[in-house]
Amino acid sequence: MFLIDTTRQGQVVTDAIVNQSIDNYLVNDLKLPGHGLMMYVNQPAVIVGINQTVTAEVDFQYLADQHVQLVRRTSGGGAVYHDERNLIFEHIVNGDPQDGSKFGDYTVFADPILRALKAMGVADLGISQKSALTVAGKKFSGMTMFKNGDGYAAGGTIMYDLNVDAATRPCCRREIGPTAAWPRTGFRLRTCANTWHRNTRT
């Protein structure tokens, strides 16, 4: 495995448009053989799935007023809110690196995250519903993938200190219900037709 440096001239890049484009470039254009890992943070942004209807998801006026970026990613899944206290990790695989990684199998990509959190003292970690990372059976992060030819990207988020107040505003308002126990992990935004889920300590 190799580390992918996403800094530019020694500076951290938090532009969500740039960061969400890197995986596309690596999978679709560069196609560097092997298994790479990159980690980055975004400035405040709402990242929507490839199949979502944006006009039904977000409050455009709020995004404009608060300078929140709106970016569509290549993979599916629901809308998520990012800020500088939300860590994004992505595995970029081209060809067969012969390390056990396989498109559609989230466990090999989740395992390093879960092991790192366990080493930090977080107990009762697991993975459920194929791509949800959990603490005590409650989701604190989701993962997603996209594929092109022999290359694919597999990644997810760790919302360790998200700005909860800001995360409640960008999308259409629905009922907020507790779904996770990990402290200060923020919000997981879903389609406006469904319920917003707030991650809270229980």
Residue 44 pLDDT level (bands cut at 50, 70, 90): very high
CA quadruple 4, 10, 15, 17: dihedral, nearest 10: -40
Higher pLDDT, 40 or 180: 40
Tens of pLDDT, residues 65-111: 999 999 999 888 778 889 999 899 999 999 999 999 999 999 999 99
Q: If you average pLDDT over residues 158-168, what whole number do you get?
A: 81
Residue 185 pLDDT level (bands cut at 50, 70, 90): very low
In the prediction, which pLDDT does 181 show? Answer: 34
Check pLDDT > 70 for residue 199. Answer: no
8 Å CB contact between 78 and 49: yes
pTM for the predicted model, two decimal places: 0.79
- Strand 69-72 with 45-48, pairing: parallel
Neighbour tally for 87: CB within 10 Å: 18
Among 10-14, 29-33, 184-188, the minimum mean pLDDT is found in: 184-188
Q: If you average pLDDT over residues 167-177, what whole number do you get?
A: 59
Residue 43 pLDDT level (bands cut at 50, 70, 90): very high
In the prediction, which pLDDT does 58 show? Answer: 86
Check pLDDT > 60 for residue 183. Answer: no
- At 17, list the tokens: 């448009």
